[in-house]
Amino acid sequence: MTETKGHLIELEGTINLRDMGGYHTKDGRTIRRHRLYRSGLITFMPEKVQQHMLEVGLNQDIDLRQADNSDNAPDVKLPGVTYYDLSLYPFADHPHFQEEFRGADKARKFELARISYLYMATDPRTAKMLRRVIQLIVANETGATLFHCFAGKDRTGVVAMLIEGLLGVPEKVAHQDYILTNDILMDRFKDEQSAADLPMADAMVTGMNIQPADDSYFETVQKVVKKYGG
């Protein structure tokens, strides 16, 4: 896990913040550092950390959360940074998914969490959001992009896996990057109560966050990546 742990950036007021640069691709290239960041909530980023992010070139913030989450826990607003709200929920083809998840027992939640990864990668509304995310990242030639959700685990994890697949990062490395979330969030989301006690926690997001990053979730998204040429 050494290679992926080196991408974690431990800064006050951040959750699961990582630089996606530095990974080597299958064709011998290296993803540039300080151009692409993934993260959890950035609402509580103190001024000194905000300044650091500006110094590394942050000029684009993509919020993958739903509007009610964003309204309750808005991103810090930095000068020169453009903000985009591109929520991956709800799913157009499965509009009652969130209600089903909230009412499910533990075993069913684990299975629904896996299914949600497939929906995030294939649902028509979500697919439009994902295309827009990729377009924004590619078009940003002068600065750095940060994309995030609440914990930087599920929605952020799916986007990261798709990007890594498109760039040609080896599957083994992408897998290590994905399951690193377990180490980072183990204490913070050790059970549903501790997760729910966090400010602005959403019931479904809380339930998703306590599900460990699992191989079956990763494999689900990898099938989609391969289908679309990753």
Which pair of structure tokens corresponds to residue 218? 């990763």
**Measured distance CA(4)–CA(103) in Å, rounded:** 35
pLDDT digits over 45-72, tens only? Answer: 999 999 999 999 999 999 999 887 788 8
CATH of the domain spanning 2-223: 3.90.190.10
pLDDT at 17: 96
Q: What is the pLDDT of residue 154?
A: 86
**Residue located via tokens 């692409």:** 36
Other C-beta atoms closer than 10 Å to the C-beta of 2 total 6
In the predicted model, residues of the chain with pLDDT beneath 50 are 1-2, 191-201
Please report the pLDDT score of residue 228 as a whole number: 57
Q: What is the pTM of this model?
A: 0.85
Residue 19 φ/ψ region, left for φ over 0, alpha for ψ in the -120 to 50 degree band, beta for the rest: beta
pLDDT of residue 45: 96
Radius of gyration of the chain (CA): 16
d(CA 96, CA 9): 36
Cross-strand pairs, 200? none
Sign of CA dihedral 149, 154, 158, 161: positive
- What the block records as the tokens of 136 is 């924004």
Query: In whole angstroms, what separates CA 7 from the centre of its chain?
Result: 14
